[in-house]
A and B are shown apart, each in its own frame.
Chain A
Amino acid sequence: MHTPIRRPRAAAAAAALATALTLTACSAGEPAALGDPETPSEPVELRMTVWTADENHLALFQEIGDAYAEENPELVSGVTFETVPFEDYTTTLTTQLAGGNPPDLAWVLESYAPEFVSSGALADLRPVLESAEGYDVDDLVPSTLELWQDGDGLYAYPFSNSPFGVFVNTDQISAAGQENPADLVASGEWTFDAARDIAAATAEDSGKQGLVVRDFDYQLWENLSTVWDGWGAAPWSEDGTQCTFTDPEMVEAMQWIHDATFDDGAMPGPGTTADFFAGDAAMTITQISRASALDGSFEWDLLPLPAGPAGQQNVIGQAGIGVFTQGENPDVAADFLASFTSPANAEKLATYFPPPRASLLDAGTLSAANPLLSEEQLQTVVVDGIEGAVTKPVHQNFAKLSETVRAQLDAMWTEDADVAAVLDETCAVIQPLLEE
C-alpha cells in the first residue's frame, strides 16, 4: 500500500542552517586596533586558556581576576581560567579558533610563538601596556621579549621565564659512591661528560635510571636542546632557512646522546619510563618550576646545566600570554592583561613563574616566593640562568617541523644507528619545510 506523501519542505531550512553554520565557522576576525577599552553595553565575561591544572596557580589567577572584576564592574563581570591539558594545548586552541569560539586571552607556547605572532592571530599589546598607569614597560628584560615581537609590536607578555636546571637525587648518588655534583659545580668541572659518568654509575648501583631529559620521551626532541646547546648546536640557522642538523657540533652532540643512552646506560632508552620526582632516576634536566613536584622523600639539589665542549649555555622555557584579535572583546582583554601583569601582580605571579621584570629578578624576591629553593640555588640557576639564556628551538613552521623531525630521528634511537646518516636524511627531509 502506498500513501502519497507530500515532499517535506525541510530542504530549504537545512540549506539555511548549513549556510549559517558555514559562515559562522569561517568568519575571519578583523585585526582590531587596541586602545582604551570602550565600556561595553553590559559587562563581559573574559576567558583565558592555560595549561596548568595546579590548584595553587589557578587560585592565584582567580584572585587577580576577581580583583580586576571588582575594580572594573562596568567592563567585566568575571574572568574564567580554563585549563586545557598541555599535550593537546595548541591543538585545542586552534580548534576553538576554527570553531569561531576563541578565548579572549591564552597562554602561548614558545615553540609556536613565531607562528602565532606572524599570523596576525594576536593583538599588539604595546600601546595598551605603555599607556597603563604604573606599568613601567622599560622594566621588562628585552631578551625575554624577543620571541614575542614583530617590528615595534609586542604580541604577548612572557609571563614565565623558567630556566632549565639539573635536579639531582643526592641520596642515590652518594649511595653509589659518586662525587657530589655540587662540588663539581664549585670546582668548575660540572660538564656533560661528568654528569653522564655519575648518572651511569648511579644507575648501575641503584638499578634505576641515570640522567632523564624530562618530557623528551623520544617524542618531544626539542627538549634535547638543553643538551646540544652545550655543544653550540642548533637544528636550523638563526633565520630559520637552513637545516643545521648536519653541522659537526650537532652530529657530535647527538652522537653523545646516542652513546650515553645505548653504550653507557646513562640515559633511559626508548620505551623506558622514569620519573625523577618519584625517585626513579639519579638526575633530570627540567625547568625549576617542577620543584613543586618534590615531596621530600629523598635528598636533592638543583644545579645549573652542565657545560659542553662549547661551554655552559643557559636555556629557558618561556610562555607568553596573548590577546586574540578574533576574540569578542580584545580591548577589554588587553586591559585585563595589563592589570594581570602589573608590577604588583607580577610579584605575586613570581611565586610560580619567574617574571620578565628586572626589578623582580633577584634572589631575595624569588626566595620569598619559592620556599623550596635556597637563595643560592635561585641565584645560580634562576637569576644567572635568565641572563644570556636561549630558548628551545622555535620556527614559524614549527608544528610541521616538530612532527617531521620526530619521525626522522626515530631511526636514531636504536643501538646500531648511524647518527650522521640519520641527521643527513633529517636535513634532506626538513629543508623544504624550512623554506616554506
Chain B
Amino acid sequence: MAAAASVPVPRGPAAESPVSKATPVSKAVRRDWAVGYTMVAPVVLGALAFVVLPLGMVVWYSLHEWNVLAGTFTFAGTANYERLLADPGLADSLLASLWFSIGLVVLNITLALLLAVLLDQKLPGTTTFRTFFFSPVVVSLVAWTIVWSFLLQADGGINGFLSTLGLEGPNWLRHETTAMLSVIVVQVFKNVGLNMILFLAALQGVPVELQEAARLDGAGAWRRFRSITLPMISPTILLVSIITIVGSLEVFAQIDVLTGGGPGNSTTVLVYYLYQQAFRFNEFGYASAIAVLLFVIVLVLTLLQWQSRKRWVFHEV
C-alpha cells in the first residue's frame, strides 16, 4: 500500500479511493459502489439462485424421505447416507464411472495432444483438418449420440463397413466391454476438438528460441518435446485434465441414448444411477444423497489435481 500511495493517482472517481476509516463516505463513492454492485448483481444473483441455492437444497433433500406421488416429505436424518454404504448398485455405478473416466481421460488427452502436435505444423490443409476435428464440439450432443447409435447397431454403419472388409463386427452396444468402449469413444470424438484447440494454443505459445537453442545443443525431436514442449504446456495439461475428469463424471445423455445403462448395469455410471433413483424410482431423497457424494468426489479430485500441480506444472514449480 505504501508503494501504491507514491504512484500518481489517476484522475476521475477512482482517484477518491482509498477512503480512510475516518473520512465519511462521500456521495460519489456511494454512487460508485451502487454502480459496482449493480454490475456484479446479475452474476451474483444468478450464482446464488442457480448454484448455491440448489446445492443447499440438495443437501436438505438428502436428509429427507421424499415420496413425490404421495406428496410426503419426512425428515430421515442420515438414513440416505447410511443406505449409500450398503447399496451394491451404487458400488457398481462407481466402478462403471471409474472405468469410464479412466478410458475417457487417457484416450481424450492423448488423442487431443497428438492431433494438436500434428496440426501445429505449417502444412497445407491444416486449417481444414482443425475445423474437421473441432466441428463435433458445436454439434448438439443428443443429435451426435443418436447418429452414433445408428452406426453402432448390430446391422449399423460400422458393422456394414467392417463387412465390406470381410470382418464381422460385434454387437457393439450389447456386450459389456464393447458397450463401455463405444460410449467412451463417442464421447472422445465429441470433445477431443476442444482439448485439441487448447493444446494447439499452448503449443503455439512455446518460445521458438528455446526450441532452437535445444536444437543447436543437439537435442532430437522427442527430447525437445519431452523436455521443452511438455513442461511449457503443462498448465494447459492441468486445465484440460481437470475439465475432462469433471466432464467424465457428468456423462449422461450418451448413456441414456446409447445403452440405457446396459447391458446389465455395465454402463450405469454415477450420474445415470442418480437419474434412475430420482426420476425413475421417485427416490428423490436418496438421489440427493448420491448427488452430494458426486459433489464431494468432484471436489476432492479437483483439489487433488490442484494440489499436485506444484510437482509437475512448469509455472508452478
Which A residues are within 8 Å of any B CB, using their own CB?
1-6, 8, 10, 14, 17-18, 21-22, 25-29, 91, 94-95, 97-98, 115-116, 119-121, 218-219, 269-273, 325-326, 399-400, 403, 406-408, 410-411, 413-414
- In the bound complex, do residue A98 and residue B284 qualify as a contact, i.e. CB atoms below 8 Å apart? yes
- In the bound complex, do residue A91 and residue B279 qualify as a contact, i.e. CB atoms below 8 Å apart? yes
Bound-state Cα–Cα, A64 to B128, Å: 58
- In the bound complex, do residue A119 and residue B264 qualify as a contact, i.e. CB atoms below 8 Å apart? no
Which B residues are within 8 Å of any A CB, using their own CB?
1, 4, 17-19, 21, 33, 37, 44-45, 48-49, 52-53, 56-57, 60, 64, 66-73, 153-156, 171-174, 260-265, 268, 276, 279-282, 284
Q: List 17 A-B contacts (CB under 8 A).
A: A10-B45, A18-B56, A21-B57, A25-B57, A91-B280, A94-B68, A94-B282, A97-B68, A98-B284, A119-B70, A271-B153, A271-B156, A272-B154, A403-B261, A406-B262, A410-B174, A413-B263
User: Within the complex, what minimum Cβ distance (angstroms) separates B34 from chain A?
Assistant: 11
- In the bound complex, do residue B155 and residue A272 qualify as a contact, i.e. CB atoms below 8 Å apart? yes
Q: Which residues of B contact A273 (CB under 8 A)?
A: 153, 155
Bound-state Cα–Cα, A75 to B44, Å: 44
User: Within the complex, what minimum Cβ distance (angstroms) separates B193 from chain A?
Assistant: 28
- In the bound complex, do residue A94 and residue B69 qualify as a contact, i.e. CB atoms below 8 Å apart? yes
- In the bound complex, do residue A407 and residue B265 qualify as a contact, i.e. CB atoms below 8 Å apart? yes
User: Within the complex, what minimum Cβ distance (angstroms) separates B205 from chain A?
Assistant: 31
Bound-state Cα–Cα, A388 to B153, Å: 39
Q: Which residues of B contact A411 (CB under 8 A)?
A: 263-264
Q: Which residues of A contact B57 (CB under 8 A)?
A: 18, 21-22, 25
Closest-by-CB residue of B relative to A413 is B174
Q: Which residues of A contact B64 (CB under 8 A)?
A: 26
> Contact check: which of A1, A97, A414 meets B18 at CB < 8 Å?
A1
**Most chain A CB inside 10 Å of its own CB: which residue of B45, B153, B262:** B262
- In the bound complex, do residue B18 and residue A14 qualify as a contact, i.e. CB atoms below 8 Å apart? no
Bound-state Cα–Cα, A94 to B276, Å: 12
User: Within the complex, what minimum Cβ distance (angstroms) separates B265 from chain A?
Assistant: 5
- In the bound complex, do residue B17 and residue A17 qualify as a contact, i.e. CB atoms below 8 Å apart? no
Bound-state Cα–Cα, A29 to B282, Å: 17
Bound-state Cα–Cα, A22 to B58, Å: 10
- In the bound complex, do residue B18 and residue A3 qualify as a contact, i.e. CB atoms below 8 Å apart? yes
- In the bound complex, do residue B69 and residue A119 qualify as a contact, i.e. CB atoms below 8 Å apart? yes
CB contact under 8 A between A97 and B44, given known A4-B19, A270-B174, A400-B281: no
Q: Which residues of A contact B268 (CB under 8 A)?
A: 407
- In the bound complex, do residue A269 and residue B17 qualify as a contact, i.e. CB atoms below 8 Å apart? no
- In the bound complex, do residue A271 and residue B68 qualify as a contact, i.e. CB atoms below 8 Å apart? no
- In the bound complex, do residue B281 and residue A399 qualify as a contact, i.e. CB atoms below 8 Å apart? yes
Bound-state Cα–Cα, A373 to B280, Å: 37
Q: Which residues of B contact A399 (CB under 8 A)?
A: 280-282
User: Within the complex, what minimum Cβ distance (angstroms) separates A87 from chain B?
Assistant: 10
Bound-state Cα–Cα, A2 to B218, Å: 52
- In the bound complex, do residue B21 and residue A4 qualify as a contact, i.e. CB atoms below 8 Å apart? yes
> Contact check: which of B156, B172, B260 meets A219 at CB < 8 Å?
B260
Bound-state Cα–Cα, A45 to B158, Å: 51
Extra 13 A-B pairs, beta carbons < 8 Å, given A4-B19, A403-B281? A3-B18, A4-B18, A8-B37, A17-B53, A91-B279, A97-B68, A219-B262, A269-B171, A271-B173, A272-B153, A272-B155, A411-B263, A413-B174
- In the bound complex, do residue A98 and residue B56 qualify as a contact, i.e. CB atoms below 8 Å apart? no
- In the bound complex, do residue B71 and residue A121 qualify as a contact, i.e. CB atoms below 8 Å apart? yes
> Contact check: which of A28, A95, A272 meets B73 at CB < 8 Å?
A28
- In the bound complex, do residue B53 and residue A14 qualify as a contact, i.e. CB atoms below 8 Å apart? yes
User: Within the complex, what minimum Cβ distance (angstroms) separates B129 from chain A?
Assistant: 33
Bound-state Cα–Cα, A111 to B171, Å: 30
Bound-state Cα–Cα, A28 to B174, Å: 42
Bound-state Cα–Cα, A285 to B48, Å: 52
Bound-state Cα–Cα, A4 to B21, Å: 8
Q: Which residues of A contact B19 (CB under 8 A)?
A: 3-4
Bound-state Cα–Cα, A411 to B266, Å: 11
Bound-state Cα–Cα, A271 to B172, Å: 9
